[in-house]
Chain A
Amino acid sequence: MASSMMKLKKDQISSIFLLFVAGVILISSAEASLGSFREPGAGLVPFLAALLLGIFSLANLILSSLRQAGEKEKPIFAFSEMNWKNLIMTLGALFAFPLLLSVLGFNLTVFGFMLFLAKAVEPRRWVIAVLFALSTTIVCYLLFVYWLKFVLEKGIFGI
Chain B
Amino acid sequence: MWDHLAYGFSIASKPINLLYCFLGCFYGTFVGVLPGFGPAAAIALLLPITFGMPPESAIIMLAGIYYGAMYGGSTTSILVNIPGEAASVVTCFDGYQMAKQGKAGSALGIAAIGSFIAGTLAVFGLLIVAPWLANFALQFGPPEFFSLMVLGLTIVVYISFGSVLKAVIMGCLGVALGCIGWDYVAGNTRITFGIEYLYDGIPAVPVVMGLFGISEVLLNLEKRQKLEVFKEVKNIWPSLKDFRESILPILRGSGIGFFLGLLPGGGTITSTFASYSVEKKISKNPEKFGKGAIEGVASPESANNAAAQSGFIPLLTLGIPISPAFALVFAALLIHGITPGPLLLSKAPNVFWGVVISMYIGNIILLILNLPLIKMWTKVLEIPYGLLFPLILIFCLVGALSDNKVGDVLVMLIFGVIGYLMRKFDYEPAPMVIAFILTPILELNLRQSLILSGGSFGIFFTKPISLGCLISVGLLFLLSILPKFKIIRPKLGME
Contact = CB atoms under 8 A, between A and B. Distances in A.
Interface of A: 7, 10-11, 13-14, 18, 21, 25, 28-29, 31-33, 35-43, 45-46, 49-50, 52-53, 56-57, 59-60, 63, 76-77, 81-84, 86-87, 90-91, 94-95, 97-98, 101-102, 110, 113-114, 117-118, 121-122, 124, 132, 136, 140, 143-144, 148-153
30 contacts: A18-B169, A18-B173, A32-B188, A33-B188, A37-B457, A42-B186, A42-B189, A49-B173, A50-B176, A60-B166, A83-B221, A84-B222, A86-B221, A90-B221, A91-B218, A91-B417, A94-B413, A94-B416, A97-B409, A101-B409, A113-B397, A121-B386, A121-B390, A124-B386, A132-B387, A140-B398, A149-B52, A150-B48, A150-B401, A153-B404
Contact of A94 (B52, B214, B402): B214
B179 A29 contact: yes
B169 A56 contact: yes
Given A13-B425, A94-B393, A110-B398, A56 B165 contact: yes
**Which of B169, B224, B417 neighbours the largest number of chain A CB atoms within 10 Å of its CB?**
B169
B316 interface: no
A38 B190 contact: no
B455 interface: yes
A51 to B, nearest CB: 9
Contacts of A102: 406
A28 B450 contact: no
B336 interface: no
B165 A60 contact: yes
Nearest to B455: A38
Q: Which 7 A-B residue pairs are closest in the complex by CB-CB distance?
A: A38-B455, A122-B386, A42-B183, A46-B179, A49-B175, A32-B190, A42-B186
Contacts of A153: 404
Contacts of B193: 28
A33 B390 contact: no
Contacts of A39: 450, 455
Find the residue from B176, B185, B224, B413 having the highest chain A CB count within 10 A. Answer: B176
Given A32-B189, A87-B221, A148-B49, A10 B172 contact: no
B391 interface: yes
A58 B31 CA distance: 39
Given A32-B189, A46-B175, A53-B173, A150 B393 contact: no
State the majority secondary structure of interface residues on B.
helix
A39 B453 CA distance: 11
Interface in B98-141: none
Interface in B374-415: 384-387, 389-391, 393-394, 397-398, 401-402, 404, 406, 409-410, 413
Q: How large is the interface on B (under 10, 10 to 19, 20 to 34, 35 or more residues)?
A: 35 or more
B406 A98 contact: yes
Contacts of B187: 42
Contacts of A57: 169
A40 B394 contact: no
Contacts of A97: 397, 409
Contacts of A152: 398, 401, 404
A98 B210 CA distance: 15
Contacts of B183: 32, 42
Contacts of A33: 186, 188
B186 A41 contact: yes
B192 to A, nearest CB: 8
A76 B421 CA distance: 10
Which of A28, A95, A124, A148 counts the most B-chain CB atoms under 10 A from its CB? A148
Given A91-B218, A118-B387, A28 B191 contact: yes
A67 to B, nearest CB: 12
A90 B218 contact: yes
Contacts of B242: none
B169 A60 contact: yes
A136 B390 contact: yes
B202 interface: no
A5 to B, nearest CB: 13
Nearest to B408: A98
Nearest to B391: A136
Interface string B407-444: 00110010011000000111100000000000100010
A114 B222 contact: no
Interface centre among A11, A81, A97 (most CB of B within 10 A): A97
A83 B385 CA distance: 14
Contacts of B260: none
Interface string B214-257: 10011001111000000000000000000000000000000000
Given A98-B410, A152-B401, A114 B394 contact: yes
A151 B454 CA distance: 48
Contacts of B176: 25, 29, 46, 49-50, 53
B386 A29 contact: no
A60 B427 CA distance: 12
Contact of A45 (B222, B424, B425, B446): B446
B168 interface: yes
B447 interface: yes
